[in-house]
Amino acid sequence: MSAETPVCQLLARQQDDYCGWLWVAPPRDAWLETGEGSLLSADEGVLSAFRARGQPAHSPFDGVDLAPRGAVLFWPKSHALGEWWLLWLCAYLPPGTPLQLVGENQGGIKRVLKALAALGLGCRKLDSARRCGLYATRLDRVDINPDAAWTTFEAGLGNEQLRLVSHPGVFGHGKLDDGTRLLLETLPAVLPATAGDVLDMGCGDGILAAWLAMRGARVTAVDVGHFAVEATRRTLAANGLEGEVLASDVYSALGERCFDAIVSNPPFHQERAIDYGPAGRLILEAPDHLRPGGQLLLVANAFLPYPDLLERAFGGFEVLADDRRFRVYRAVKG
């Protein structure tokens, strides 16, 4: 099986066979999924792909003990998230474990030199190709707890205040996104105070789930990212609210469950690339998860091509708000 992504193509030409190694936060790549390594990821889509092939796959929140022959960390777009993975690996893998770090030049892989130096870890360059770099070090205990990356901030919503818990890599980390704010300003006019069963799709730090639960809705919140799932659970707990929070690749964990409303600020990026796939699935499959008369309420950047998808899925829609940057759409299942 040939490697598909540039970072995996760089790894595939190394002398290491990586048998018994741990892939940490990798992209989807069949070369990895059919190999003999195990997976550590916070992406439910990647975890599901490995598990479907019978490969060992874990989330950093599973609480499992790992002792691989070595580990490869795929450096993420968010430097702060990359630093968190480094701290987690130093805290939970045995000292002396070989660690390789790989990433694209445009993704900031060269910044790992300073990150490793700040932790007192040595580093050497192994290879470069496909506009990517590969570096090597060995893990050791450091005097920084990875849990220190969790942050809490207050979000004012009119006369209401919510305490939000966030983590590097979670959408809107550390602030209230302008699109989400527009959606929250629009919802009271179209969503009853007792809205019934509501699905927060792509829950991020849990701002929508908490707002809905505060108004009396029975909330289910899902996200493909395990950091977002954990952040939403912590946000609900910090505000004394209840809701079901699940890791799910769009609707994958929901079976045939249906709701009175689906509310979302869907993502359209995968690392640096624009990817309409998850939002397309959210819209096109929404009628299958709404009760008759149920509504899909979503906010999106004004330039995104969602009107065509809404027309295909529902046969019609309306624009509830438009501030030239973002639009709030509403579509109702007949």
Q: In this predicted model, what pLDDT tens digit does every residue of 145-183 receive, in sequence order?
A: 999 999 999 998 777 889 999 999 898 788 888 999 999
Q: What is the pTM of this model?
A: 0.92
Q: How large is the average pLDDT for residues 83-95?
A: 97
pLDDT at 269: 43
Whether residue 204 has pLDDT greater than 90: yes
pLDDT at 305: 86
Average pLDDT, the chain: 93
pLDDT at 162: 95
pLDDT at 268: 62
Label residue 321 by pLDDT band (50, 70, 90): very high
Which domains does the chain show, CATH number per domain? 6-147 (3.40.50.150), 150-332 (3.40.50.150)
pLDDT at 221: 98
Label residue 273 by pLDDT band (50, 70, 90): very low
Whether residue 274 has pLDDT greater than 80: no
pLDDT at 68: 97
pLDDT at 158: 75
pLDDT at 54: 93
Whether residue 330 has pLDDT greater than 90: yes
Q: In this predicted model, what pLDDT tens digit does every residue of 210-230 receive, in sequence order?
A: 999 999 999 999 999 999 999
Whether residue 280 has pLDDT greater than 60: yes
pLDDT over 70 for what percent of the chain? 97
Give the per-residue SS3 of the chain.
CCCCCHHHHHHHCCCCCCCCEEEECCCCCHHHHCCCCEEECCEHHHHHHHHHCCCCEECCCCCCCCCCCEEEEECCCCHHHHHHHHHHHHHHCCCCCEEEEEEEHHHCHHHHHHHHHHCCCCCEEEEEECCEEEEEEECCCCCCCHHHHCEEEEEEECCEEEEEEECCCCCCCCCCCHHHHHHHHHHHHCCCCCCCEEEEECCCCCHHHHHHHHCCCEEEEEECEHHHHHHHHHHHHHCCCCCEEEECCCCCCCCCCCEEEEEECCCCEECCEECCHHHHHHHHCHHHHEEEEEEEEEEEECCCCHHHHHHHHHCCCEEEEECCCEEEEEEECC
Q: In this predicted model, what pLDDT tens digit does every residue of 122-140 receive, in sequence order?
A: 999 999 999 999 999 999 9
Q: How large is the average pLDDT for residues 307-322?
A: 96
Whether residue 93 has pLDDT greater than 90: yes
pLDDT over 90 for what percent of the chain? 86
Whether residue 270 has pLDDT greater than 50: no
pLDDT at 276: 61
pLDDT at 167: 95
pLDDT at 194: 76
Contacts of 326 (CB under 8 A, 6+ apart): 178, 179, 182, 299, 300, 301, 302
